[in-house]
A and B are shown apart, each in its own frame.
Chain A
């Protein structure tokens, strides 16, 4: 199979869906500008026109509401925030309106809205251009939250999101854009709510999210050298998340480490650890451990940034601790 970058896979999903669904609408500030969205949207406006690829005035809350209104009135819509932080300006529309609408009206009107929110971490972008807010949105009933880590999933989950017919927060991380991987040319979907085992192992279950999957894959050979056999699960969907896959793996390995790209307190890692503790306590051979961002805003200076973001070495350290004396 040919390979594409993560950004190219996203662009291909957009192009194929726009070509086949004349009702699909794309709206978001900066979507016609590679400066904001890298190569992931390049020239879509030239190909499909600025009536379907709308780059609106600076108005996040208004734009979010407009996207909801268009979706309610018959146009499945992909709303894009090239920096996830700016989504917060319009979060009332997402949390109060998009997430509530179907339930509160008894299912009479779904909101076919995909909110593509891009995380722009590192590179001295600072506290307000870098936030990984998956836990915030995963907390809200009525939203689904996806975080593809591979080019294959980036395309397949985006296509699944548009088909789903519900409000979905699709979070992509700029650190993934240059990752390459096999991507089928034809349209396809990846099931929402299903994780995937990236590497089978016996000693410890390592659940990773988004870019942390890349770092986890770098950590695997280092852990193997220490004699630790890791089962790596790429969660892919944060909500709903694949509880059965994780539980089955933990029942096999008896150990759990969760590596999240967001903050620790109240984070996705906390939810997974808590669920495993509730439902598989008896099989645990050691306390589950979490690896997440420290509970601090992102600093700008490169030396502080280096200390802020967990990498493969931190994963190695955490997994080794989880495996305790058995492997020391």
Chain B
């Protein structure tokens, strides 16, 4: 950790990661209890990436996500209550109970949307950056996606176009080394995903995705480049998801991955790492640390209570909103 970082930023990064972690652990619990029933992909272990990238953005910057986007939603500033209610299928959810865990939106903070089709939001992020450029808005767009998405044609088509137009896009590959059950080494000839940037003549930067300060630093530099009109960057954040591909379980029983691998990555917990460093350097007292956790627990329990007490959508609303009534000016 460099000394150039103001302590308030470091504490903010820790607080955001803790909020995501506690939200996700509680979500796992609610899945096991059957209170949440939609397919839910947990972000536990990857918190440093959403946290570090979003800390480098302005509120008006755009982000687009995937099937595993609770962390992106919270880090960008989306309402935790609306997120939890969405997973409960409630009318007060961020998509009014139509999206569940995989279709999240918070346009008020620039979260344009997340969808589960692998790589689908990558060109959409490029399009939002194109609009920002043509309308001279100065907004940067971030596309979050997993390592599996780099095997899709849309990924390459998007990098090519963004590079050609020098668009303000940050392509953030969250490489957790698995695409559902398939390990990266069984899917690609090498494990260096930054090589995809070479083909499109843009910078490809690999960072330790479990080091939130490294992620923030790299994202900040890429965002500065984007704002300066120098074009896109591919940021490969190497990390690991602790839980299985979908749901609260660990995928250890299905021989998909070895327990030792999971344990080795858990030992590299991004939250523990920053927290320990802050305590050792005297930038955080144990009491302040405890307060961060207590506040996060309180916020999550408030969101759970809000979701539980919210109404379900009325079935008469089923046909509404197939189309917008807002005419193009």
Chain A residues packing against B (C-beta within 8 Å): 21, 23, 25, 51-52, 56-57, 59, 61-76, 92-93, 96-97, 100-110, 112, 141-142, 144, 162-166
Contact = CB atoms under 8 A, between A and B. Distances in A.
Nearest to B93: A106
B117 A92 contact: yes
B103 interface: yes
B322 A93 contact: no
B85 to A, nearest CB: 12
Contacts of A110: 323-324, 326
B217 interface: no
Contact of A68 (B107, B124, B328): B124
22 contacts: A25-B130, A25-B134, A57-B164, A61-B153, A62-B153, A62-B157, A65-B126, A66-B124, A68-B124, A69-B131, A72-B127, A74-B131, A93-B154, A96-B115, A103-B321, A104-B98, A104-B99, A105-B98, A105-B113, A162-B328, A165-B324, A165-B326
Interface of B is mostly: mixed
A76 to B, nearest CB: 4
B96 interface: yes
B35 to A, nearest CB: 22
Given A106-B98, A109-B113, A68 B157 contact: no
B123 A69 contact: yes
A71 B128 CA distance: 8
Contacts of B40: none
Interface string B144-165: 0000000001101110110010
Which among B132, B153, B323 has the highest number of chain A CB atoms within 10 Å?
A: B323
Given A25-B134, A62-B153, A165-B328, 13 more contacts: A52-B134, A62-B161, A65-B121, A66-B126, A66-B158, A69-B129, A72-B113, A104-B95, A104-B98, A105-B113, A142-B322, A165-B324, A165-B327
B131, B132, B156, B329: most-surrounded residue (chain A CB, <10 A): B131
A192 to B, nearest CB: 10
B112 interface: yes
B103 A65 contact: no
B53 interface: no
Contacts of B126: 62, 65-66, 69
Listed from nearest, the 3 A-B pairs whose CB atoms lie closest are A69-B127, A65-B123, A62-B157
A100 B113 CA distance: 12
Given A76-B328, A165-B328, A61 B321 contact: no
B321 A102 contact: yes
A106 B322 CA distance: 8
Contacts, number: 164
Contacts of B124: 65-66, 68-69, 72, 93, 97
Given A75-B135, A105-B105, A162-B328, A65 B95 contact: no
B177 to A, nearest CB: 25
B62 interface: yes
Contacts of B127: 65-73
Q: Which of A66, A72, A104, A107 has the most CB of B within 10 A?
A: A66
B120 interface: yes
Contacts of B103: 104-105
Contacts of A104: 95, 98-99, 103
B324 A65 contact: no
B326 A69 contact: no
B120 A96 contact: yes
Contacts of B321: 102-103, 106-107
A97 to B, nearest CB: 6
A203 B164 CA distance: 60
B124 to A, nearest CB: 4
B131 A164 contact: no
Contacts of A51: 134
B120 A93 contact: yes
A151 B135 CA distance: 32
A164 B113 contact: no
Interface in B74-128: 95-99, 103, 105, 107, 112-113, 115, 117, 120-128
Contacts of B99: 104-106
